[in-house]
A and B are shown apart, each in its own frame.
Chain A
Amino acid sequence: MSTDHGDRAEADADADAGAEAVRPGLIGRALPRVHDARMLRGHGRYADDLDDGTALHAAVVRSPVPHGRVTRFDGTAAREGGAALVLGPDEIARHADPLPTVWRLPGQHQRDIEVATRTVRYVGQPLGLVVAASRAAAEDAAERVELSIDPLPPVVGVDAALAPGAPLLYPEAGTNVAGEVRFGDPADEIERAMAAAPHVVTRELTVQRVNAASMEPRGLLAEWIPHTERLTVWSSTQVPHPVRHGLATALRLRADQIQVLVPDLGGAFGSKTTLYVDEALVCLAARLLGGRVAWTEDRTEALTATYQGRGQTATARLALGHDGRFLALDAHVRGDLGAFSTQGGSGPFQITGQSLEGPYKLPLAGATVTCVHTNAAPTGAYRGYGMQESTWIRERLIAEAARELGLDADELRLRNLIAAEEMPYTVRTHMTYDTGDYPATFRAAADAVAEAPRERTGRVRRGVATVPSVEITGYGPTALLEMTGLEASGWESGRIRVNQDGTVTVFAGAVSMGQGIETTLTQIVADRLGVPMSLVAVRLGDTEATPHSEYSSQASRSLVLSGSALLRAGERLRERMDALAAAFLETTPEDVRLEELTFRADKTDRTATWREIAHRGWLGWGRPEHDRIQLEETVDFDPPDVTYAHASHAAAVAVDLDTGAVTVEGYWAVHDSGVLVNPLIAEGQTAGAVAQGLGLALLEEAAYDPVTARPLAASFWDYAIPAPPDVPEIRVSHTETPTPHNPGGFKGLGEGGTLPTAAAVVNAVADAVPEIAARLDRTPLTPYRVWTLLRDAGLADEGQEGTGERS
Chain B
Amino acid sequence: MTGAPERTVSLTVNGTARAARTEVRTLLSDFLRHTLGLTGTHVGCEEGVCGSCTVLLDGEPVRACLMLAVQAEGRRVETVEGLAQNGELTALQRAFMSEHGLQCGFCTPGILMSLTAAERDGLPEEETATHVLAGHRCRCTGYNGIRAALTRSREGGSDEH
Are the CB atoms of A40 and B93 closer together than 8 Å?
yes
The smallest C-beta distance from A557 to any residue of chain B, in angstroms, reads: 18
Are the CB atoms of A10 and B89 closer together than 8 Å?
yes
| Seed contacts A37-B93, A716-B137; 12 additional CB < 8 Å A-B pairs | A15-B161, A37-B89, A40-B105, A44-B106, A136-B4, A215-B138, A267-B103, A514-B106, A514-B140, A687-B142, A687-B145, A722-B137
Tell me the residues in window 719-746 of chain A with beta carbons closer than 8 Å to chain B beta carbons.
721-725, 727, 729-730, 732
Contacts of B147 in A (CB 8 A): 724, 729
Tell me the residues in window 71-89 of chain A with beta carbons closer than 8 Å to chain B beta carbons.
81-82
Contacts of B41 in A (CB 8 A): 42
Q: Mark B33-49, 1 if CB is under 8 A from A, else 0.
A: 11000111111111101
Complexed CA–CA distance, A141 and B4 (Å)? 13
Nearest first, the 10 closest Cβ-Cβ pairs linking A and B are A42-B40, A514-B104, A266-B106, A691-B142, A39-B105, A42-B80, A49-B39, A716-B49, A514-B103, A687-B142
Tell which of B50, B79, B158 touches A14, judged by Cβ atoms closer than 8 Å. B158
Q: Tell whether B108 is near chain A: CB-to-CB under 8 Å.
A: yes
Residue of B nearest to A678 (CB): B100
Give the contact-size bracket for chain A. Answer: 35 or more
Q: Tell whether B10 is near chain A: CB-to-CB under 8 Å.
A: no
The smallest C-beta distance from A396 to any residue of chain B, in angstroms, reads: 23
Offer 10 A-B interface pairs, CB within 8 angstroms, sorted by A. A32-B100, A40-B96, A42-B80, A44-B39, A48-B33, A513-B104, A716-B49, A722-B142, A724-B129, A730-B144
Give the contact-size bracket for chain B. Answer: 35 or more
Residue of B nearest to A685 (CB): B103
Tell which of B44, B103, B112 touches A299, judged by Cβ atoms closer than 8 Å. B44
Tell me the residues in window 45-95 of chain B with beta carbons closer than 8 Å to chain A beta carbons.
45-47, 49-50, 52, 79-81, 83-84, 87, 89, 93-94
Contacts of A516 in B (CB 8 A): 103
Are the CB atoms of B107 and A215 closer together than 8 Å?
yes
Are the CB atoms of A44 and B40 closer together than 8 Å?
yes
Q: Tell whether A671 is near chain B: CB-to-CB under 8 Å.
A: no
Instruction: Known contacts A40-B89, A514-B104, A687-B144; decide if A215 and B52 are in contact (CB<8 Å).
Output: yes
Tell which of B109, B134, B140 touches A725, judged by Cβ atoms closer than 8 Å. B134
Are the CB atoms of B1 and A216 closer together than 8 Å?
no
Instruction: Known contacts A724-B143, A727-B143; decide if A683 and B134 are in contact (CB<8 Å).
Output: no
Are the CB atoms of B160 and A15 closer together than 8 Å?
yes
Are the CB atoms of A32 and B161 closer together than 8 Å?
yes
Are the CB atoms of A16 and B160 closer together than 8 Å?
yes
Are the CB atoms of A717 and B144 closer together than 8 Å?
no
Instruction: Known contacts A20-B160, A37-B89; decide if A46 and B139 are in contact (CB<8 Å).
Output: no
Complexed CA–CA distance, A82 and B1 (Å)? 7
Are the CB atoms of B47 and A46 closer together than 8 Å?
no
Q: Tell whether A100 is near chain B: CB-to-CB under 8 Å.
A: no
Residues of B within 8 A of A (CB): 1-2, 4, 23, 25-26, 33-34, 38-47, 49-50, 52, 79-81, 83-84, 87, 89, 93-94, 96-98, 100, 102-109, 112, 129-130, 133-134, 136-147, 158-161
Residue of A nearest to B138 (CB): A215
Tell which of A264, A298, A724 touches B105, judged by Cβ atoms closer than 8 Å. A264
Q: Tell whether A17 is near chain B: CB-to-CB under 8 Å.
A: yes
Are the CB atoms of B142 and A730 closer together than 8 Å?
yes
User: For chains A and B in complex, what number of residue pairs have CB atoms within 8 angstroms?
Assistant: 201
Tell which of B97, B133, B146 touches A33, judged by Cβ atoms closer than 8 Å. B97
Residue of A nearest to B49 (CB): A716
Instruction: Known contacts A41-B84, A43-B40, A44-B106; decide if A724 and B133 are in contact (CB<8 Å).
Output: yes
Residue of B nearest to A17 (CB): B160
Are the CB atoms of B47 and A299 closer together than 8 Å?
yes
Residue of A nearest to B82 (CB): A42
**Residue from A40, A265, A514, A691 having most chain B Cβ neighbours under 10 A:** A40
Q: Tell whether A798 is near chain B: CB-to-CB under 8 Å.
A: no
Complexed CA–CA distance, A31 and B105 (Å)? 17
The smallest C-beta distance from B144 to any residue of chain A, in angstroms, reads: 4
The smallest C-beta distance from A390 to any residue of chain B, in angstroms, reads: 23
Contacts of A691 in B (CB 8 A): 141-143
Contacts of B137 in A (CB 8 A): 215, 716, 721-723
Tell which of B26, B33, B94, B144 touches A49, judged by Cβ atoms closer than 8 Å. B33
Contacts of A723 in B (CB 8 A): 134, 136-137
Instruction: Known contacts A41-B84, A49-B33, A515-B103; decide if A716 and B50 are in contact (CB<8 Å).
Output: yes
Residue of B nearest to A298 (CB): B46
Are the CB atoms of B34 and A51 closer together than 8 Å?
yes
Complexed CA–CA distance, A15 and B144 (Å)? 19
Q: Tell whether A116 is near chain B: CB-to-CB under 8 Å.
A: no
Are the CB atoms of A141 and B105 closer together than 8 Å?
no
The smallest C-beta distance from A793 to any residue of chain B, in angstroms, reads: 32
Contacts of B40 in A (CB 8 A): 41-44
Are the CB atoms of A687 and B141 closer together than 8 Å?
yes
Complexed CA–CA distance, A680 and B161 (Å)? 9
Contacts of A514 in B (CB 8 A): 103-106, 140
Q: Tell whether A448 is near chain B: CB-to-CB under 8 Å.
A: no
